[in-house]
Amino acid sequence: MLETEIKRLIVESLALEDVNPEGIETDAALFVEGLGLDSIDALELAMVLEERYGVTIEDDPEMNARIFASVRSLAEFVRSQGGEARGS
C-alpha cells in the first residue's frame, strides 16, 4: 500500500530514530506538531519523493503546504501524479 511505503520512506530517508513506520498515523501532521519534522526534512523528503515516484513538487506554496500535511495527503498527491506505478 502506498501509505505504508511512504511511511517507510520517511523513516528511512530521514533516518528517524525511535520511530517505526507503523507508528506514524496516516492522518497525523508531519511537521512541527505530530511527527515533528522540520524544514530540512521537507527538502529531503521532496527530493526522495521526486526520485522514487517521479513526481514534481510544484511552485505553489499553499498547495505544497497541503501536500506535505500528512502521509495521506502525500499519498494522494503521488497517486494524482500517477506516480504509484513507478513506486511499486
Partner 1 sequence: MTPLSRLLAAGGGTRIVAFGREGALSEDRLRADVGALAAYLEPLAGGRVALHCQDAYAFAVGLLAVGQVGAVAVLVPSRQPGALLRLAGEVAGFLLDGEEVPPEIEGRACVSPLALPPAEYTLAALDREAPWAELFTSGTTGEEKPVVKAVRHLEDEVATLEARFGAALGAGTRMLATASPQHLYGLLFRVLWPLATGRPFLRTPILHPEELVPTMDEGDFALASTPLALRRLAERAELTSRAAHCRAVFSSGGPLEAGVARRVAETLGAPPYEVYGSTETGGIAVRQQWAGDEAWQPLPGVATALDPEAERLVVTSPFVSGGEPADAGCTRLATGDRAELLPGGGFRLRGRVDRVVKVAEKRLSLPDMESRLREHPAVEEAALVLVEGPGEPRVAAVVVLTRLGRESYVRDGRRALGRELSGHLARDFDRVLLPRVWRFADALPRDAQGKTSVRALEALVTEGTTRPERLVFEQEPGRAVVEWRIPPELAHLEGHFPGHPVVAGVVQVHWVMSVLEELLGTPPRLTSLEALKFHEVLGPRDHVRLELETEAREDATRFRFRLIDAAKPERTFSSGRGSCRAES
Exactly one of 17, 33, 85, 88 binds partner 1 (CB under 8 A); that residue is 17
The answer to whether residues 41 and 48 touch, using CB atoms and an 8 Å cutoff, is no
Partnered with residue 37 across adjacent β-strands are: 31
Q: Residue 64: which residues within 8 A CB-CB, separation 6 or more?
A: 57, 58
CB 63, min distance to partner 1, A: 10
Site mask for partner 1 (CB under 8 A), range 57-86, x = bound: xxxxx--xx---------------------
Contact flag: residue 33 with partner 1 (CB under 8 A):
no
The set of cell numbers assigned to 30 is 508531519
The answer to whether residues 53 and 86 touch, using CB atoms and an 8 Å cutoff, is yes
Task: Return residues touching partner 1 (CB under 8 A).
Answer: 13-15, 17-19, 32, 36, 38-40, 42-44, 46-47, 57-61, 64-65
